[in-house]
Structure 1
């Protein structure tokens, strides 16, 4: 039985456990005086989490370190004065879609999404740069001179090589001192920000090859906590046996899986394949349906389970082979025979086996850690798949749709949000749409992609695509149209009003193949907007009367307000004219723009009549430009009018 503790709570350990939940990267191991290892808090890292300045600490401890790590952590925590600007002309179904395509540096995008999607994303999939020797596209200003590096780490690189070749120093090759460090510094802040977005039961899948698998595991252990590691899946990416290596030909990639809190993560099983179902037959026309036979023997001799079993059809008796026994005792076997659960073959002359019915087994299979190309596709297949979608051009290193579809099926439920912040050619978006079309789900996807220029020698550039982001957006358009066509074609053979016809019709109505394009850009506000009063001169005050940049639209302002207030960026937006002024309503409640999540008006000359009319709509939030009001009285009165007519409304100005 359990014993009473007979001592007060260990508050120190409770505090450590709380800190570990908030900052798993700050957990470390230290040696005690007696030589044992115990968990502790890395106070240098904890101070860094709570400080805008870098801190130093000489104490040795178990941790992953590299030149630039502290700068990377500071970068993750540093605020940015940027926003997301809507781009209707590049979007699909802008008004109705719940999917987002964010174009810009994913570090900026992840920071901008912190308020709105904090703890709301169920699944993240990323396929980051594999660090194969090319320069990184993501320029986070982690570069340093050779002299700076030598001061930090001596005259050798991470692999112990001398650092003398100036030409090699300029390349991100294994001869360069920051070969691994730059990759880690690129990944570290992005993973930290991504973790914040995950739900408590959220999960992240990360594709990687052998070049950085070891470092990815270690940095992910630090960010997510080693105890939240779930699996390292091996994907067989090649079907060819042709050797392309001096030593051993590489035919796989890794997909590393971590949970935000692994004890709360539930991964869905995989549906049984036709091959798996084909073993279930019904040769004796059993009324309980299809079944398969299973071994009735155990590989050890137990006296109580060694006895003859008689075939009811032929009276032939069967004994277990030497050294084995039946799986059950005599009473249980007799019960199974009377219930027609023992199979002796069609003629009744075969060794008895146990009947297992399809209706009694789980409909889903637990995923395993090896995924063959036969099940989820391979790299060459993915290239051809994308080439067919684009009517010819072949693009570099996409992932198979089936691979991403399986990941989405395992990691997310039908109504969840899926994020991919290394979107590339948008395979994950394609997979989410395809999966929704198959099971009628309404999973939402958020894609983030840098407008990385296409190589001028590439098929994509020759086909007219200047950036990877352009390829991604066009892929979603084409894939969405194709998926709709395929669903519509299924209707042709179904009788209108039939169950199948209604099912397909419902899937078409539910299917969201659109996306709302948002582009990372500088803030809509002028620089003076962010200055403290003591930083502003009289001349600056005159210039600050107009605090909005001249090239920004009211809809630009609306999305910056939505970001700042944490309003879902995919909510429906409508417009209405009130007292002659255009008002944006985000997520109208009843079709009359009442009880909307947000009402925004950025026009000038707002007076009391406008404020009264808008307050009667009872929005949850209302925002205006500071300079929008007709006079100071109208600006003061708006708050009082809302307090009287809509007291629950939160009123703000920009």
Structure 2
């Protein structure tokens, strides 16, 4: 029994709890004056969260630490001036689809998605490159000052794919991998809904470190499970010591609640365990023991059956329910004394009163969710007998995660290590089965394929090409099979590519432009960018969903984009006059954007706000 506090609220503890919601990674343990452990703030780490430069600190504390951790945090928080450029020719159903495929560095993609998808993603699944000593991993530059990183991120695109081999002879073998994943996990957490969950596949090499890292990023209290997936069912006798047949899947919630994780569907075998021997009008039921192990006060008394026979719990056991409650259950015909009425009492648990599903276990057999072989066979069926990707995940495995983490049919699912796009395949297949409208966002680096691989020989020069082609082929197959169950199934995707900003350098560093070059900077937009390029940068800047329907119209000879009806209206043509502005205002858009150099005269630019104030006062106006 808890005691009353008998004192006013401890504001320090309350403030720590508030900070824990914003920065769970800054919560640690420290000893008080009496030497007892208590919850505390890692002020060095909190200062790093609020700083644009590396903060030093040497306070002793309980935490996971490694060389480069602070630089990784700085990298996660540093801004970039990149954009997403639409690529219609690689898309499927560009104008109508709700799905996105982003090609480029996933760290940059996560930063670009922060405003448009903040707190909107229901489930994240990632299968990052494992730290095997030979796998290629993302190598972010942690050696620069923040100003240098900001300048490079804004103005240069010559860093290539930023991939290196993290050989196990490297002194930073674990540190480099941890730094790579840390910044990405931190950014990914921001995108999750409060009831959102993340699943991370990992093997034994970094599982322990990754779990401690996720404890820090999400808060230890939001850990849900560490699942063991049986990836293979045969023994590898060439293994050095023990044949490893499983991988781990770490599961965390943004805020762990009973409703944040779903249930698995009940099987026919499970339902077959229920019967109705007494023809109870409430339907089939199963007998559940009414006693439990151990002694409990007031837990030992006699229960009398309808035939008059008395029953007591066995030695060292007790009844689960109080005497009064058991009498109520007997009156409601919820206690079963057997066909003769003399058997030990059991509780009748009715099938009709159970939840729609069952809780998942932490051991996932290959018979239930597939194996590595299953995944390879799936790819071979799609790619004419070849498997163009190494170590894919089976869609049945990811569908298990979708059942638990994206049970709501309008969920947004993110995978920022797309690989062969198994996640996109699984989302489409699940929508095809239940008629859902789940959406996916895939992110994949344009990583080149090995010139000796089946993928390269088949004509796929990069992993992202394999991802997109897998979605196209799987979508066609699923749509044909789901014509009856999901006639409006979305199997398309908008292809977007990360690129340098549409704006010239002068937009970010005006002081760097000398007086004699000003004439070349009248238009602050790069010459090779289209109006649709500009539109998507506006969507990013304004935090608008990148998958909203876009309608293009010509008004008074000008090209106008209407996003989701009148949610946003954009025109990037030049020669905008006051009559044209009045026509746009007549549509009463929520937001409108023009090109800064697009107005016919300075007077038109000045009068735009007055025109909208008169004709559409609720419209928010911006220029670029």
TM-score, with normalisation over the residues of structure 2? 0.89
1:407-486 residue pairs with structure 2 within 5 A?
A: 407-412=401-406, 413-486=408-481
- Aligned-partner Cα distance in 1 for 2:613–2:342: 87
What is the match of residue 253 of structure 1?
Answer: 247
Residue 266 of structure 1 and its aligned partner are, at CA, apart by 1.9
Match of 1:508, SS state, is: coil
* Residue of 191, 202, 224 corresponding to 2:218: 224
1:386 matched to 2:375: no
Pick closer, same or farther for the CA change 1:602–1:47 going to 2, 3 Å: same
What is the match of residue 285 of structure 2?
Answer: 291
- Aligned-partner Cα distance in 1 for 2:538–2:172: 40
Pick closer, same or farther for the CA change 1:110–1:263 going to 2, 3 Å: same
* Residue of 553, 575, 595 corresponding to 2:552: 575
Pick closer, same or farther for the CA change 1:468–1:335 going to 2, 3 Å: closer
Q: Where does the alignment leave 5 or more consecutive residues of structure 2 unmatched? A: 145-163
1:77 matched to 2:70: no
What is the match of residue 106 of structure 1?
Answer: 106
Q: Deviations over 1:366-397 (max 9, x none)?
A: 12211111211111111112211222112311
1:43 matched to 2:43: yes
- Aligned-partner Cα distance in 2 for 1:335–1:260: 40
- Number of residue-to-residue matches in the alignment: 597
CA contact (8 A) 1:142 1:182 kept: no
Q: Where does the alignment leave 5 or more consecutive residues of structure 1 unmatched? A: 145-169, 312-316, 492-503, 589-595
- Aligned-partner Cα distance in 2 for 1:519–1:415: 25
1:516 matched to 2:486: no
What is the match of residue 88 of structure 1?
Answer: 88
Match of 1:262, SS state, is: coil
What is the match of residue 150 of structure 1?
Answer: none
Match of 2:89, SS state, is: helix
Q: Deviations over 1:508-546 (max 9, x none)?
A: 22x2111111111111111122123x4332223111112
TM-score, with normalisation over the residues of structure 1? 0.85
CA contact (8 A) 1:454 1:466 kept: yes
Match of 1:626, SS state, is: coil
- Aligned-partner Cα distance in 2 for 1:39–1:482: 54
Root-mean-square deviation (Å): 2.8
Pick closer, same or farther for the CA change 1:292–1:64 going to 2, 3 Å: closer
CA contact (8 A) 1:209 1:253 kept: yes
1:191 matched to 2:161: no
* Residue of 515, 532, 545 corresponding to 2:522: 545
* Residue of 589, 593, 598 corresponding to 1:628: 598
CA contact (8 A) 1:307 1:330 kept: no
1:22 matched to 2:59: no
Q: Deviations over 1:565-618 (max 9, x none)?
A: 101100000011222111001000xxxxxxx11111111111011001001111
Residue 416 of structure 1 and its aligned partner are, at CA, apart by 1.6
Residue 117 of structure 1 and its aligned partner are, at CA, apart by 0.8
Match of 1:465, SS state, is: coil
Match of 1:122, SS state, is: strand
Match of 2:597, SS state, is: coil
- Aligned-partner Cα distance in 2 for 1:460–1:322: 66
- Aligned-partner Cα distance in 2 for 1:431–1:127: 14
Q: Deviations over 1:419-443 (max 9, x none)?
A: 1111111111111111122222211
1:375 matched to 2:372: no
Residue 175 of structure 1 and its aligned partner are, at CA, apart by 2.3
Match of 2:181, SS state, is: helix
CA contact (8 A) 1:202 1:265 kept: no
What is the match of residue 151 of structure 2?
Answer: none
- Aligned-partner Cα distance in 2 for 1:262–1:109: 26
What is the match of residue 529 of structure 1?
Answer: 507
